[in-house]
């Protein structure tokens, strides 16, 4: 994540630039990349090497980061303790909220969080953007069929259990674009599973499009989907590519968060 760090930190005079930069460095560490060298941190952050060295030395002194025997950096126990405290009271809705807010703010569309249920996909939260299309019939508590709309379809694609229960001849056509043929639907779901996201255009509501990504548990089971939806013409070209990238990143981040939550 390259950051133009030599400029003034955003947020005005109340923001301490050095603290913000240190947080950006800590944000590079993840379960996939728990150890970083000075050179790699410098490249990834876009900061000056001397700045990175001084910030990391400060974090080591504070006990937030440890040095390995090879001289690389690894986050220390206080970071895990704070993370555990944050996760203790977290549920999937609160975990997804900042990502939904980011999607709605960035694109001006409506962000949705849906979970699987016996009768269909249930919308448990939504956030409207500044230019958001009011989508009739999709509200908190709405139950939607799994074979239409991006959020339900991406869950269907990633769940063998849902496929076995839901896919059968005679599925109703919600619009003219709804896929009801079993063979075509299975082929469509396989493509979605491989891609890691779903795109729907007018298959649930005419003129409405959406992009969705799954949120998966530690065992790979589908826990939810996060999506952004709006007018179909806003889901084309570069705008569509940006939405796909950001929705997929949100789904992946929320997946990591929920997998780290303490089990009930």
Domain chopping of the chain, boundaries: 17-88, 92-260
> Per-residue pLDDT for 9 more than 50?
no
Across 12-34, average pLDDT: 78
Would you state the pLDDT for residue 233?
92
Answer whether 163's CB lies under 8 Å from 224's CB: no
Q: What mean pLDDT do residues 192-202 have? A: 95
Evaluate if residue 175 carries a pLDDT over 80: yes
Confidence (pLDDT) at 5:
41
Classified by CATH at the fold level, domain 92-260 comes out as Beta-Lactamase (3.30.450)
Residue entry with tokens 């599973």: 193
Confidence of residue 85 (pLDDT cuts 50, 70, 90): low
What kind of architecture, by CATH, is found in domain 17-88? Answer: Orthogonal Bundle (1.10)
Residue 245 CB partners (closer than 8 Å, separation 6+):
none
Who contacts 153 (Cβ-Cβ below 8 Å, separation ≥6)?
A: 146, 147, 188, 189, 192, 198, 200, 212
Closest among 196, 152, 191 to 171, alpha carbons compared: 152
3-state secondary structure 167-205: CCCCCCCCCCCCCCCHHHHHHHHHHHHHHCCEEEECCCC
Phi, psi (degrees; rounded to nearest 5) at 228: -135, 135
| 130 three-class SS | coil
């Amino acid at each position: 994540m390259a950051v133009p760090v030599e400029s003034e930190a955003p947020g005005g005079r109340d923001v301490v630039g050095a603290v913000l930069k240190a947080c950006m460095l800590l944000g590079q560490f993840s379960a996939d990349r728990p150890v970083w060298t000075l050179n790699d941190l410098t490249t990834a952050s876009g900061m000056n090497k001397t700045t990175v060295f001084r910030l990391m030395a400060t974090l080591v002194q504070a006990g937030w980061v440890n040095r390995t025997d090879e001289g690389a950096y690894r986050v220390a126990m206080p970071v895990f303790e704070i993370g555990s405290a944050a996760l203790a009271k977290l549920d999937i809705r609160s975990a997804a909220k900042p990502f939904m807010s980011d999607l709605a703010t960035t694109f001006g569309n409506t962000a949705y969080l849906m979970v699987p249920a016996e009768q269909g996909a249930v919308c448990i939260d939504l956030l409207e953007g500044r230019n958001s299309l009011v989508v009739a019939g999709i509200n908190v508590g709405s139950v939607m069929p799994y074979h239409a709309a991006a959020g339900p379809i991406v869950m269907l694609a990633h769940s063998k259990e849902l496929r076995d229960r839901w896919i059968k001849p005679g599925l109703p056509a919600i619009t003219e674009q709804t896929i009801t043929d079993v063979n075509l639907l299975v082929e469509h779901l396989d493509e979605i599973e491989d891609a890691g996201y779903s795109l729907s255009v007018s298959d649930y509501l005419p003129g409405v499009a959406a992009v969705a990504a799954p949120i998966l548990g530690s065992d790979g089971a589908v826990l939810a989907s996060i999506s952004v939806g709006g007018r179909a013409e806003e889901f084309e070209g570069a705008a569509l590519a940006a939405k796909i990238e950001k929705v997929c990143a949100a789904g992946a981040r929320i997946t990591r968060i929920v997998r780290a939550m303490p089990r009930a």
